[in-house]
């Protein structure tokens, strides 16, 4: 009987993981039965963490979620305003404030009109009107929320001409997660379409509200199942020390959270090959990508025991999937290569993938334990401002449902606003498309230069390409290697024209006849910046070509030989740099 239950549990965990990380439709599941709800409900585990952070720094905007869309065509503002009113009335969480009497509680206000702010900039020249609209939207996205009084959602419409508007929505993360974006876009579009046509609200009533989810979590707070999950995490994370990615600067004592991002793509052929590797090893694409990222962290940190945080959405019923709310928490996924024995060349990537598959399934199976509870339970876990004790790197496969805002009679184009503040040192999100696999790196600019993100992306691409070709090779076969498109070929006499580059302490180099400045790094074999004068390899962004990695010192001149001038121009136009070489 016990074996049958264990098998069923394992199968359930696998199905949950496949569904979340492969974005497959959910099988119909039972909705929670309606239950009496007190006037004030407790916070969910994820909300409690965000509420505590807000108490420590109420002026911060790191947990603001800014959304934006350009609207081309005649906008029915009255219908749009009614759509926002109905959306806020439908989802209690958008009318919720948070008290701190005795312990934080959710207080749901009665439905009231949503304050859709309309700003008319159409008297300005078109280009200036759009710049002004974006500036206003950015400032609004950075404005802190008052969680004690609310509201937790702000909407604005900036008119740049009679037929062009910028619509923005800013929500606090305590009431909103990535999945919620699709819910908002779907329902706002349906409501606007109905109201613009003079029809009634077309949406069926919700079966449950977010506060019910929070109550469910607290019902389990002292159960045997909860204790078993904590026991698992206590054992899984015992002895784990955080492995930080080598930074370009010392971590500040009082971090501001300033961040930037870098995007890259994995070619269709590699994407397809990774899917084949996953299928052949009984894994998911998420597991393959995570195993490769952990291998990269091993190379970069010089540590054989690494971990990353990974978001889990915790929407366990179809009723939860219909809600706007903060369901996401974070689990710690650990890869300890020392478990394979002292010979690091012995384990293959397939071995590492099997290890990651096991820890991922177990981790997701125990994901109902909140990160806060896990930190409290694990001996030696130290809390530091702005730093989690187990990881400072996040990894995610974007599994939110695909949904685009559609408004009747209007062409809608999404405008992506940057994150207000970094949630950790570096976060890598991979998004599968129809053909390509897209990567997005968000990094702390207080720690890293853009060139570091470029190098991380290039080495990750190289690892994935090698894994797609053959996952059965020993781990040290896959890296660090020479990333495609980033290593300058230093073989004298290879090409015709001589070019000179000097790597400066600022991390840039003058390259090519134009003297264009580009990010540069001199790195050691573990991809860490080397001290001035030490030997390393020079890395620069460049065209898509592969070259042998030359060794240079960080303070010496590098003599390079480039293509004939016309060939340089042809290659540089592809990359948007005049006179650059790769």
Fold entry, domain 212-399+420-477: Chloramphenicol Acetyltransferase (3.30.559)
Among 434, 438, 425, 392, residue whose Cα is nearest residue 289: 438
Within a 10 A sphere around the Cβ of 582, how many other Cβ atoms?
Answer: 24
| Distance of alpha carbon 190 from alpha carbon 486, whole angstroms | 47
Among 286, 332, 331, residue whose Cα is nearest residue 306: 332
Among 84, 92, 89, 139, residue whose Cα is nearest residue 112: 89
**What tokens were used for 549?**
């990695």
β-bridge mates for residue 522, sequence order: 538
**Looking at residue 401, what DSSP letter applies?**
P
- The answer to whether 45 touches 217, Cβ cutoff 8 Å, is yes
pLDDT score, position 422: 76
Within a 10 A sphere around the Cβ of 72, how many other Cβ atoms?
Answer: 13
**Looking at residue 568, what DSSP letter applies?**
H
pTM for the structure as a whole: 0.75
383-393: per-residue pLDDT in tens? 666 678 899 99
| Distance of alpha carbon 185 from alpha carbon 58, whole angstroms | 28
Question: How many residues make up the chain in this entry?
Answer: 582
β-bridge mates for residue 559, sequence order: 500
Those residues whose C-beta lies under 8 Å from the C-beta of residue 491, and which sit 6 or more positions away, are 548, 550, 561
Helix axes 178-196, 77-90, angle to 10 degrees: 130
Secondary structure of the chain: what % helix, strand, coil (to 5)? 35, 25, 40
- The CA-to-CA distance between both ends of the chain, in Å, stands at 62
pLDDT score, position 450: 86
Compute CA distances 271 → 101, 437, 441, 486, whole Å: 52, 6, 18, 21
pLDDT score, position 388: 82
**Looking at residue 148, what DSSP letter applies?**
T
Same fold, 40-210 and 212-399+420-477: yes
pLDDT score, position 209: 96
User: What phi, psi does 149 have (nearest 5°)?
Assistant: -115, -20
Beta-strand runs (E) in 506-579: 508-511, 516-519, 521-523, 535-539, 551-553, 557-562
CATH architecture of 40-210: 2-Layer Sandwich (3.30)
555: Cα within 13 Å, side-chain hemisphere: 4
Those residues whose C-beta lies under 8 Å from the C-beta of residue 229, and which sit 6 or more positions away, are 366, 368, 369
- The answer to whether 459 touches 299, Cβ cutoff 8 Å, is yes
Answer whether the bond into residue 338 is a cis peptide, omega within 30°: no
β-bridge mates for residue 492, sequence order: none
Within a 10 A sphere around the Cβ of 53, how many other Cβ atoms?
Answer: 16
442-495: per-residue pLDDT in tens? 999 999 988 888 888 888 998 999 999 999 999 888 865 433 333 333 332 222
Among 272, 232, 485, residue whose Cα is nearest residue 365: 232
User: What phi, psi does 368 have (nearest 5°)?
Assistant: -70, -15
56-104: per-residue pLDDT in tens? 888 888 889 999 999 999 999 999 999 999 999 999 999 999 987 768 9
| Distance of alpha carbon 327 from alpha carbon 311, whole angstroms | 10
| Distance of alpha carbon 118 from alpha carbon 137, whole angstroms | 12
- Pairing between strand 116-120 and 153-161? parallel
Q: Which helix (H) or strand (E) holds 300?
A: helix 285-301
Q: Which helix (H) or strand (E) holds 119?
A: strand 116-120
Those residues whose C-beta lies under 8 Å from the C-beta of residue 60, and which sit 6 or more positions away, are 53, 54, 144, 257, 421
| Distance of alpha carbon 292 from alpha carbon 348, whole angstroms | 12
- Give the DSSP letter string of 376-393: HHSTT---BTTB-SS-SE
- The answer to whether 119 touches 156, Cβ cutoff 8 Å, is yes
Among 488, 476, 493, residue whose Cα is nearest residue 538: 488
- The answer to whether 455 touches 486, Cβ cutoff 8 Å, is yes
Beta-strand runs (E) in 126-224: 153-161, 164-172
184 by DSSP, 3-state: which?
Answer: helix
Q: What is the mean pLDDT of each run of 10 residues along the chain (582 residues)?
A: 35 43 43 64 90 84 91 96 98 94 88 95 96 95 93 97 96 94 96 96 95 87 83 94 88 84 91 96 97 93 92 88 94 91 72 96 92 86 72 87 84 81 88 87 91 86 93 82 36 26 38 41 57 54 36 40 29 32 26
Rg (the chain; Cα; Å): 26
pLDDT score, position 253: 82
| Distance of alpha carbon 211 from alpha carbon 372, whole angstroms | 20
| Distance of alpha carbon 75 from alpha carbon 69, whole angstroms | 13
- The answer to whether 193 touches 186, Cβ cutoff 8 Å, is no
Among 43, 196, 24, residue whose Cα is nearest residue 105: 43
Among 242, 256, 366, 365, residue whose Cα is nearest residue 309: 242
Domain ranges for the chain: 40-210, 212-399+420-477, 497-575
**What tokens were used for 296?**
């990269």
41 by DSSP, 3-state: which?
Answer: strand
């Amino acid at each position: 009987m016990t074996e049958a239950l264990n098998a069923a549990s394992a199968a359930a965990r696998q199905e949950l993981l496949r569904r979340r990380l492969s974005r497959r439709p959910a099988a119909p599941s039972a909705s929670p039965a309606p239950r009496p709800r007190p006037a004030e409900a407790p916070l969910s585990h994820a909300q409690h963490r965000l509420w505590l952070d807000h108490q420590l720094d109420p002026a911060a905007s790191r947990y603001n979620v800014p959304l934006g869309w350009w609207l081309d065509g005649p906008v029915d503002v009255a219908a749009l305003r009614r759509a926002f009113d109905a959306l806020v009335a439908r989802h209690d969480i958008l009318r919720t404030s948070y008290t701190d009497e005795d312990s934080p509680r959710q207080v749901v206000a009665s439905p009231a009109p949503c304050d859709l702010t309309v700003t008319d900039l159409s008297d300005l020249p078109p280009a200036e009107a759009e710049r002004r609209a974006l500036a206003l939207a950015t400032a609004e996205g950075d404005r802190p929320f008052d969680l004690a009084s609310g509201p937790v959602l702000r909407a604005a419409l900036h008119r740049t001409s009679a037929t062009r508007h910028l619509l923005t929505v800013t929500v606090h993360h305590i009431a909103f997660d990535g999945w919620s974006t699709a819910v908002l876009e779907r329902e706002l579009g349906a409501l606007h379409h109905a109201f613009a046509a003079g029809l009634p609200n077309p949406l069926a009533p919700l079966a449950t509200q977010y506060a019910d989810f929070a109550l469910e979590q607290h019902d389990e707070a002292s159960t045997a199942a909860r204790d078993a999950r904590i026991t698992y995490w206590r054992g899984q994370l015992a002895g784990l020390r955080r492995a930080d990615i080598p930074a370009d600067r010392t971590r500040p004592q009082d971090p501001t959270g300033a961040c930037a991002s870098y995007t890259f793509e994995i070619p269709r052929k590699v994407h397809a090959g990774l899917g084949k590797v996953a299928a052949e090893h009984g894994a998911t694409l998420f597991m393959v990508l995570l195993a490769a990222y952990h291998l990269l962290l091993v190379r970069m940190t010089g540590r054989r025991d690494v971990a990353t945080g990974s978001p889990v959405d915790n929407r366990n019923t179809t009723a939860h999937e219909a809600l706007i709310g903060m369901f996401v928490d974070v689990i710690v996924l650990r890869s300890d290569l020392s478990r394979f024995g002292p010979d690091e060349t012995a384990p293959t990537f397939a071995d590492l993938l099997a290890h990651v598959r096991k820890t991922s399934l177990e981790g997701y199976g125990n994901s109902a334990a909140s990160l806060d509870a896990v930190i409290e339970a694990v001996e030696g876990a130290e809390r530091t401002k702005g730093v989690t004790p187990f990881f400072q790197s996040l990894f995610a496969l974007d599994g939110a449902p695909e949904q685009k805002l559609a408004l009747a009679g209007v062409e809608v184009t999404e405008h992506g606003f940057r994150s207000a503040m970094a949630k950790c040192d570096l976060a890598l999100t991979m998004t599968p498309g129809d053909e390509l696999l897209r990567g997005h790196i968000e990094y702390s600019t207080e720690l890293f230069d853009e060139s570091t993100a470029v190098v991380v992306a290039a080495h990750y691409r190289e690892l994935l390409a090698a894994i797609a070709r053959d996952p059965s090779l020993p781990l040290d076969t896959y890296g660090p290697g020479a990333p495609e498109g980033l290593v300058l070929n230093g073989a004298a006499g290879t090409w015709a024209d001589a070019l000179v580059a000097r790597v400066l302490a600022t991390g840039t180099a003058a390259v090519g006849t134009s003297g264009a400045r580009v990010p540069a790094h001199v790195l050691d074999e573990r991809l860490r910046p080397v001290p001035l004068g030490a030997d390393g390899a020079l890395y620069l962004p460049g065209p898509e070509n592969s070259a042998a990695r030359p060794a240079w010192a960080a303070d010496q001149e590098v003599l390079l030989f480039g293509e004939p001038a016309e060939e340089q121009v042809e290659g540089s136009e592809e990359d948007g740099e005049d006179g650059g070489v790769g």
